[in-house]
Amino acid sequence: MLEIKNLHVSVGDKEILKGLNLSIKAGEVHAIMGPNGSGKSTLSYVLAGRAGYDITEGLITYNGEDLAALAPEVRAAKGVFLAMQYPVEIPGVTTMMFLKTALNSQRRARGESDLDAVAVLKLVRAKAKTLNVSEEMLKRALNVGFSGGEKKRLEILQMALFEPKLAVLDETDSGLDIDALKLVAEGVNTLRASSRAMLVITHYQRLLDYIVPDRIHVLARGKIVAEGGKELALELEAKGYEHILKEPA
Amino acid sequence: MSIAAETKAQVAEIGDKYKYGFVTDIEMEMAPRGLSEGTVRYISAKKGEPEWMLEWRLAAFKRWGAMKEPNWARVHYPRIDYQNSYYYAAPKNTPLKQSLDEVDPKLLETYKKLGIPLQEQMALAGVAVDAVFDSVSVATTFKAKLNEAGVIFCPISEAIRDYPDLVKKYLGTVVPVTDNFFATLNSAVFSDGTFVYVPKGVRCPMELSTYFRINASETGQFERTLIVADEGSYVSYLEGCTAPKRDENQLHAAVVELVALDNAEIKYSTVQNWYPGDENGLGGIFNFVTKRGDCRGKKSKISWTQVETGSAITWKYPSCILRGDESVGEFYSIAIANNYQQADTGTKMIHLGANTRSRIISKGISAGKAQNTYRGLVSIYGKAKNARNYTQCDSLLIGGDCGAHTVPYIESRNPTARIEHEATTSKIAEDQLFYCLARGIPQDEAVSLIVNGFCKEVLQQLPMEFAVEAQKLVGISLEGSVG
């Protein structure tokens, strides 16, 4: 599904990713762990197509297509989803209105017809229930005055609504207490599917207790420096990043 | 696609943004070019006006000759040559009074194209329309139905002939003939507009609206509208405006007067979409307008809502004179300036009576190389005990080459007054745009969504029938503004 080869990415003059390789198949859940400043968020933004993150070398192939050649909104319509670390506020635009606009934009890009307000409402309500997203939240302006937990739940709600093929979760655990974390993880787990690939980016091992990955990669200084199964997370937790970084990659 | 074909397609696409830019090919009758006492007499004669009206116009014209064009607004434009345009243009064979089936099919077709069908059976349910084409009203719908309720809704030229006492009693009492350069010019040469009278205790059963269309070239439009709400009555009125795309600048200098007596309420909404000029600032309407409402009676209320997306230059300050005790004035405004448009708009709230209240919500959006100014006055007079004002001015900038300016004037001569003023300036943040894009929302639609959110408080004030159109207009006006 996703094949990243020798990826170099610069922001301004600064090279952040320096030859990253990664391969994820449909049905797999991979985790990327790494210390602050290792390039984790840069990777998520590059996958979603944020302006200002320039690929200077290497190739990202998504379902056989050159991902870099696609505009961000086209990527979304083709099933790339990024649950953001810091979801933004849009004053005056109700959450429901935003969800409807996004859903129908994606449908239109795929040549499907718009869903009317009633159909969208039904769909959203069904998904909202399991994630404990209230009707009241859907009526409020997007992310305005939402708590950290509400913002993250809304990100997962969008993931459930858009049914992406590749879901990237950037620090979805940051700012969550343990109950909120469990709820969000449950939401993610119910979306695990044989047709879907997931990339979970996190600083802490804690999230991986609840979303158990098939494979873990350690990102440091712009490169993958270690790989392994889920037990790698425990090793990192016990020994810290310094330990791994000292070993030759 | 070849480069030439591609360029052509792009040009066509840009042209499509202003979809009202067509010209109706119709035979016109024009006043001789230029402005003189003869022009004033010509217009008055064409309208079949009584002597008193002509005298009124001539006095205004004389006064105008001694006045100077104001230059305090933050707008720049080449000198207007008042002798080089036409002051009256009407489709030939427009009888003074006509029924809908006598209207020239070309005109009916024009309004249909503008989305305002005039045939009553096709019209938007619950909305009566007065259609003003250049200098004359060409049709007024649902007059009979409104008459049943006692509501007078007709072209002002007709009101001058048919209801002279009402017109004499109120015309020029809110915006005096001597008010300002453009209002005085209008008083001399005004052509058509709408007259509304809602009798005591009547709640007007329909939305009333006037649709102003400039069609003729090198012609100015001088709309004059007068709305009187008698004691305990209510009326909601909306005006819309469009004009063809031309390289020249055309002048629209309107005067609108509102009078609300005891316990009466007038809600006046504007969706102004005059041709704004092209991407390089060529052409477009000069919209120099004086609008004022007089809350003459106790507990009366006047509420202005405006969505200003068009015109090369907008110079407009819909105001309220809060004369009656406990009267209420409101001003809700969205002003969008894109490319080289300039907007200098705001309001005046003049608190004369005790316990008067006013509320100002202004949303200015600037894009391209446009300049957008909010200019407002809140004035509390000595007798206005416990007067209250709340003002909120928010500016949104799109791109780095545009400007937003806020110029509030506040005067209080009464220590019991409470005046609040809040102002913010923000930019559409890159992270907001990225968030929308990443969820599949294309750029132009994302801008429209964010801006509509920004304007929501004002859009909510529009009559439901027009709110959806206005939302779309907000989006279209800003297409391509983020590069």
> Residue B125 contacts by C-beta under 8 Å, 6 or more apart in sequence?
none
Separation of alpha carbons B60 and B63, rounded Å: 5
| Separation in Å, CA of B471 to nearest CA in chain A | 12
- Tell whether A70 is within 8 A of chain B (Cβ): no
User: Rounded to whole angstroms, how far apart are CA atoms A92 and B466?
Assistant: 19
Q: Closest CB to A105: pick one of B430, B441, B455.
A: B441
Q: Within chain B, what is the greatest distance between any pair of CA atoms?
A: 72
Is the confidence at residue A249, as pLDDT, over 90? no
For A146-171, what is each residue's pLDDT tens digit?
Answer: 998 899 999 999 999 999 999 999 99
Q: Please list every residue in chain A whose beta carbon sits closer than 8 Å to the beta carbon of residue B457.
A: 92
The 3-state DSSP class for residue A159 equals helix
Look at the alpha carbons of B108, B249, B210, B240 in this order and tell me if their dihedral is positive or negative: positive
Element (H, E) at B91: strand B89-91
Cβ contacts (< 8 Å) between A97 and chain B: which residues? Answer: 449
B365 touches chain A (CB under 8 A): no
CB B112 within 8 A of CB B171: no
Do residues B154 and B262 lie in contact, with contact meaning Cβ atoms separated by under 8 Å? Answer: no
Across the interface, which of A50, A93, A102 has its CB nearest the CB of B440?
A: A102
Q: How many CB atoms are closer than 10 A to CB B153? A: 29
pLDDT for B3 equals 42
CA distances B110 to A81, A127, B140, B211, Å, are 47, 48, 15, 12
User: Is A101 in Cβ contact with B441 (below 8 Å)?
Assistant: yes
Q: In sequence order, which residues have a C-beta less than 8 Å from that of residue A77 and are 6 or more positions away?
A: A105, A106, A109, A110, B440
For residue B372, the one-letter residue type is N
pLDDT of B125 reads: 65
- Give A85-135 pLDDT, tens digit per residue: 999 999 999 999 999 999 999 999 999 999 999 999 999 999 998 888 899
> Which DSSP string do the residues of B269-311 spell out, in sequence order?
EEEE------TTS-SEEEEEEEEEEEE-STT-EEEEEEEE---
Distance (Å, rounded) from C-alpha A99 to C-alpha A161?
Answer: 8
Query: For residue range A5-28, what is the model confidence (pLDDT) as tens digits?
Result: 999 999 999 999 999 999 999 999
Cβ–Cβ contact A169 with B under 8 A: no
In this complex, do A72 and B434 lie within 8 Å of one another by their Cβ atoms?
A: yes
Per DSSP, the three-state class of A234 is helix
| Dihedral class, residue A241 (left if φ above 0, else alpha if ψ from -120 to 50, else beta) | alpha
Say if residues B332 and B299 touch (Cβ distance below 8 Å).
no
Rounded to the nearest angstrom, the minimum Cα separation between B431 and chain A is: 7
CATH code at position A8: 3.40.50.300
Task: Please say if the pLDDT value at position A66 is more than 80.
Answer: yes
Output b/e per residue, B372-390; b: 16+ Cβ within 10 A: bbbbbbbbbbeebbebbbb
What number is the ipTM of this complex? Answer: 0.95
Q: Which of residues 225-244 of A touch B (CB under 8 A)?
A: none
Please, what is the end-to-end C-alpha distance for chain A in angstroms? 26
Residue B88 phi/psi, 5° resolution? Answer: -150, 130
Which mean pLDDT values do the consecutive 10-residue runs of chain B (483 residues) have? 44 58 86 92 93 96 94 90 90 68 79 76 73 84 90 94 96 96 96 94 93 86 96 95 85 96 96 88 92 98 94 94 98 92 95 98 92 95 97 91 92 96 88 96 92 90 80 80 68
Q: What is the pLDDT of residue B419?
A: 96
User: Is B437's CB within 8 Å of A87's CB?
Assistant: no
CA distance B286 to B355: 38
Residues of B in contact with A162 (CB under 8 A): 439-440
Which of B387, B283, B267, B284 has its CA nearest to residue B318? B267
**Residue A131: closest CA among A183, A185, A188, A193:** A183
Residues of A within 8 A of B429 (CB-CB) are 88
* Helix %, strand %, coil % of chain B (to 5): 25, 35, 40
Residue A2 has pLDDT above 80, yes or no: yes
Distances in whole angstroms, Cα of residue A237 to Cα of each of A13, A202, A206, A214 = 33, 12, 9, 17
- Cβ–Cβ below 8 Å for A88 and B431: yes
Environment class of B233 (CB within 10 Å of its CB; exposed 0-12, middle 13-18, buried 19+): buried
Please state the φ and ψ torsions of residue A89, each to the nearest 5 degrees.
-95, 140
Query: What single string gives the DSSP state of each residue in B150-179?
Result: T-EEEEHHHHHHH-HHHHHHHTTSSS-TTS
3-state SS class at B215:
coil
> Is the CB of A93 less than 8 angstroms away from the CB of B450?
yes
Contact B445 A101 (CB under 8 A): yes
E strands of A12-107, at which residues? 14-24, 29-33, 53-62, 65-66, 80-83, 90-94
Question: In this structure, are residues A115 and A123 in contact, taking their beta carbons and an 8 Å threshold?
Answer: yes
The pLDDT assigned to A179 comes to 87
Instruction: Give pLDDT tens digits for A211-248.
Output: 999 999 999 999 999 999 988 888 888 888 877 777 55
Task: Specify whether the CB–CB gap between B387 and B356 falls below 8 A.
Answer: yes
Chain B CB contacts of A109 under 8 Å are: 440
CA gap A136, B133 in Å, rounded:
48
Helix (H) or strand (E) holding A158: helix A148-162
d(CA B439, CA A102): 6
For residue A73, give the nearest of B437, B452, B455 by CB distance.
B437
Chains A, B: CB contacts within 8 A come to 76
Asked if B445 is an interface residue toward chain A (Cβ–Cβ < 8 A), one would say yes
Angle value at C-alpha A219, between A217 and A224, nearest 5 degrees: 70
Residues on chain B touching A166 (C-beta within 8 angstroms) = none
Q: How far is B432 from chain A (nearest CA, A)?
A: 6
| Window A:72-111, CB contacts with B under 8 Å | 72-73, 75-77, 82, 84, 86-93, 97-98, 101-103, 105-106, 109
Q: How many domains does chain A have?
A: 1
The whole domain housing A168 covers 2-246
User: Which chain B residues are Cβ-neighbours of A72 within 8 angstroms?
Assistant: 434, 437-438
DSSP type of residue A67: G
Give the nearest partner residue to B440 out of A73, A86, A92, using CB atoms: A73
Report the pLDDT value the prediction gives residue A89, as an integer from 0 to 100.
94
Q: How far apart are CA B79 and CA B251, in angstroms?
A: 12
The pTM score is: 0.85
Q: In what order do the strands lie in the sheet with A53-62?
A: A14-24, A2-11, A53-62, A65-66
Contact A3/A23 with Cβ under 8 angstroms? yes
**Residues in a beta bridge with B366:** B337, B397
| Token pair listed for B11 | 């040009």
Chain B contacts of A96, Cβ < 8 Å? none
Mutate which: B432, B435, B454, B459, vs A, most A CBs within 10 A: B435
Residues of B in contact with A86 (CB under 8 A): 431
Boundaries of every domain in chain B = 19-477
